[in-house]
């Protein structure tokens, strides 16, 4: 299976999985169980990189008993999703999560509650990811760590037949993998905010999918923000359900817990520093916090702060598409894209149909990452099995940051990253959006894109990451500019109400020129066929 030369490592597989977080590892296991020869590659170390390991994923967990519980859970979620969720998809992921998660018991020790019942819903991120890695290896999957994929490879008919990347710990040597089908599970992006675990998630999977001709969906919903102690990356937020907030003068702020609390907190932060106290946290949670979320108290311990007594400053970090919901458009729960041979799972895929217009954080995202991984793994194994093995020359699809359209030049990657952050993080640009503000961001991002597309030639991981960040920000801003209303995570100061005519998903795509289109039920859009919203 493996042949190597000094120049390039070359492998073949039935199914190639890009990304080894929750979605990628469940996909790898499921494809291997379906009989496929699987290779999984990760930018970092599968088991610690990505957002899953640092989190404490709580899955959407509703057993079939008592009858009616799932109907109620789905009905609530459909209502909360503000017209963009779909009940059938929700039932599917609830059921798959319930069937699949307990199968990890061989590798993961699930906790028990006070009555001795096994708690499957909430798992501890580090142990969970370690178990998922063990499970993948146990199924004979070949894992390449520290091996970011740079670009996809296509057959002459446009279907995806592999990928190419670099082996970071092998002198940057390149590798290529030919595969019957490819699953992109490279996570979402927080646009390099300080969201825990997200630093290497730069939207690479979106750019590669778009280069293959796939579209995005829901990219306007990138305005989820999560609280953290100021000057820290600790964005695990459960304890803040019980927080009390104060301004710099020590006056208590009226920020009642609920869906709008982030908005009120952001407004307060625009006025000045905000301080928090967790003295109202119930004693049983205080007692168990070190066990449930051991990394949460670490920050306070290091600073010598008792968060149940002392006040500490807080901030908000952008979640982008990680607790937001945009991603590559999927046609079914198998993660089928508009590109033959290409599947997506987890945060790499759009989650609107299971999360609606609001964040899927707290439970839906994990259930989606698990289930979409399992579904995509099975489907990709099926496609790979039925695809006749062709020996043909594969075309590399990467352009921006790899193969410049104009005269090559050395680019300041750090400056490009900062520019993207400057458009995607400030509250007055991405949380409280306005038409003129979005137009201004768009101009800056278009210039950045032209610069990287025309001049970027280094072919380095950093430059490809920068290209991915700019591309993702462009789709987000373009879609937000078209959604002339406020709905869920998307807020327009100039259109504060919901528009019933926009209770629909918005597709976006394109590289040189961005296009945005309404996702009409009948529109089986194919690459390059997006039509502008009138
Ligand atoms: C602090 C925090 C807490 C959360 N808590 C919850 C919760 O309680 N419930 C819930 O439902 N959701 C929660 N979420 C969201 C949930 O964790 C994610 O939706 C889920 O983990 C996504 O899994 P994933 O596999 O898609 O992405 P990730 O876990 O991010 O994995 C992506 C992987 O792809 C790799 N990768 C990226 N680019 C490349 C490339 N070019 N080549 C190769 N590999 C690449 C990365 O290294 C990474 O390992 C939380 C998120 C955070 C940040």
Residue 244 CB burial class (10 angstroms; 0-12, 13-18, ≥19): middle
**What pLDDT score was predicted for residue 527?**
44
pLDDT in tens, 5-49: 557 899 999 999 999 999 999 999 999 999 999 999 999 999 999
Residue minimizing CA distance to atom 5 of ligand 1: 57
Give the residue from 38, 53, 47 showing the smallest Cα distance to 20. Answer: 47
Per-residue HEC secondary structure of 173-192 comes to EEEEEEEEEEEECCCCECCC
- Of 187, 328, 348, the residue with max ligand 1 atoms within 8 A of its CB, to mutate for a pocket test, comes to 187
What pLDDT does residue 268 have? 97
Ligand 1 atom, smallest distance to 150 CA: 41
Ligand 1 atom at shortest distance from the alpha carbon of 22: 25
Structure tokens at 260: 């709008």
| Ligand 1 centroid, distance to 216 Cα (angstroms) | 18
The pTM of the full predicted model, rounded to 2 decimals, is: 0.96
Residue 529, pLDDT above cutoff 90: no
Ligand 1 binding pocket includes 201 (Cβ within 6 Å) = yes
Closest ligand 1 atom to Cα of 363: 11
The separation between CA 155 and the C-alpha centre of its own chain, rounded to angstroms, equals 27
Tell me: cis bond preceding 66? Omega within 30 of 0 counts: yes
Compute the average pLDDT of residues 232-249. Answer: 92
Neighbours of 430 (CB within 10 A): 24
Share of the chain above pLDDT 70, in %: 96
Q: What contacts 418, CB < 8 A, 6 or more positions away?
A: none
CA proximity to 208, closest of 344, 335, 319, 407: 344
Q: Residue 340: CB within 6 Å of ligand 1?
A: no
Would residue 19 be called left, alpha or beta, if left means φ above 0 and alpha means ψ between -120 and 50 degrees?
Answer: left
Across the range 156-168, mean pLDDT stands at: 96
Residue 52 CA: which ligand 1 atom is closest? 21
Closest of 202, 267, 198 to residue 233, by C-alpha:
198
Does ligand 1 come within 6 angstroms of the Cβ of 44? Answer: yes
pLDDT at position 65, please?
94
The two structure tokens encoding residue 132: 């998922």
* Averaged pLDDT score across all residues of the chain: 93
- Ligand 1 centre from 522 Cα, in Å? 32
Give CA torsion, residues 182, 187, 189, 192, to 10 deg: -110
pLDDT over 80 (residue 387): no
Q: H or E segment at 35?
A: none
Q: How many Å lie between the centroid of ligand 1 and the Cα of residue 130?
A: 14
Give residue-wise pLDDT tens across range 266-315: 999 999 999 999 999 999 888 888 877 888 889 999 999 999 999 999 99
What phi and psi, each to the nearest 5 degrees, are found at residue 220? -75, -15
Phi, psi of 58 (to 5 degrees): -95, 120
Instruction: Residue 508: name the closest of 473, 464, 466, 468 by CA.
Output: 473
């Amino acid at each position: 299976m493996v042949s190597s030369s000094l120049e390039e490592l070359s492998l073949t597989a039935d199914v190639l999985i890009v990304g080894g977080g929750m979605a990628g590892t469940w996909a790898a296991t499921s494809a291997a169980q379906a009989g496929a020869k699987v290779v999984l590659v990760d930018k970092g170390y599968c088991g610690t990189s990505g957002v899953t390991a640092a989190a404490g994923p709580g899955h959407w967990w509703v057993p079939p008993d008592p009858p009616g519980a799932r109907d109620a859970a789905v009905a609530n979620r459909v209502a909360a999703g503000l017209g963009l969720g779909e009940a059938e998809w929700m039932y599917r992921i609830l059921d798959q999560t319930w069937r699949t998660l307990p199968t990890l018991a061989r590798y993961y020790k699930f906790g028990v509650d006070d009555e001795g019942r096994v708690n499957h819903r909430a798992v501890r991120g580090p142990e969970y990811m370690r178990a998922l890695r063990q499970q993948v290896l146990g199924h004979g999957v070949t894992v390449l760590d520290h091996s970011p994929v740079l670009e996809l490879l296509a057959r002459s008919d446009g279907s995806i037949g592999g990928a190419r990347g670099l082996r970071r710990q092998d002198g940057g040597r390149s590798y290529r993998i030919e595969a019957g089908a490819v699953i992109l599970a490279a996570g979402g992006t927080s646009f390099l905010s300080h969201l825990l675990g997200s630093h290497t998630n730069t939207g690479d999977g979106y750019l590669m999918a778009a280069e293959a001709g796939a579209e995005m969906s829901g990219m306007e919903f990138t305005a989820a923000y999560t609280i953290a102690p100021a000057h820290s990356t600790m964005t695990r937020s459960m304890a803040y359900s019980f927080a009390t907030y104060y301004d710099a003068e020590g006056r208590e702020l009226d920020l009642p817990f609920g869906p709008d609390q982030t908005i009120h907190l952001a407004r307060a932060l625009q006025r000045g520093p905000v301080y928090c106290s967790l003295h109202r946290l119930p004693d049983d949670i205080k007692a168990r916090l070190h066990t449930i979320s051991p990394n949460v108290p670490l920050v306070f311990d290091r600073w010598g702060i008792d968060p149940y007594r002392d006040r500490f400053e807080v901030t908000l970090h952008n979640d982008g598409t990680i607790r937001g919901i945009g991603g590559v458009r999927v046609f079914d729960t198998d993660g089928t894209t508009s590109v033959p041979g290409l599947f997506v799972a987890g945060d790499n895929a759009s989650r609107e149909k299971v999360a609606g217009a609001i964040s899927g954080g707290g439970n839906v995202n994990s259930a989606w990452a698990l289930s979409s991984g399992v579904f995509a793994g099975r489907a990709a194994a099926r496609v790979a099995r039925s695809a006749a093995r062709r020996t043909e020359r594969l075309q590399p699809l990467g352009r921006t940051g790899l193969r410049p359209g104009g005269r090559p030049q050395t680019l300041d990657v750090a400056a490009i990253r900062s520019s993207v952050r400057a458009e995607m993080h400030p509250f007055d640009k991405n949380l409280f959006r306005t038409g003129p503000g979005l137009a201004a961001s768009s101009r800056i991002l278009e210039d950045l894109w032209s610069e990287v597309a025309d001049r970027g030639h280094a072919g380095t991981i950093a430059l490809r990451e920068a290209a991915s960040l700019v591309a993702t920000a462009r789709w987000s801003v373009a879609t937000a500019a078209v959604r002339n209303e406020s709905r869920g995570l998307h807020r327009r100061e100039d259109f504060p109400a919901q528009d019933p005519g926009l209770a629909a998903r918005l597709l976006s795509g394109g590289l040189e020129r961005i296009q945005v289109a309404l996702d009409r039920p009948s529109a089986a859009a194919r690459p390059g066929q997006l039509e502008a919203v009138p």
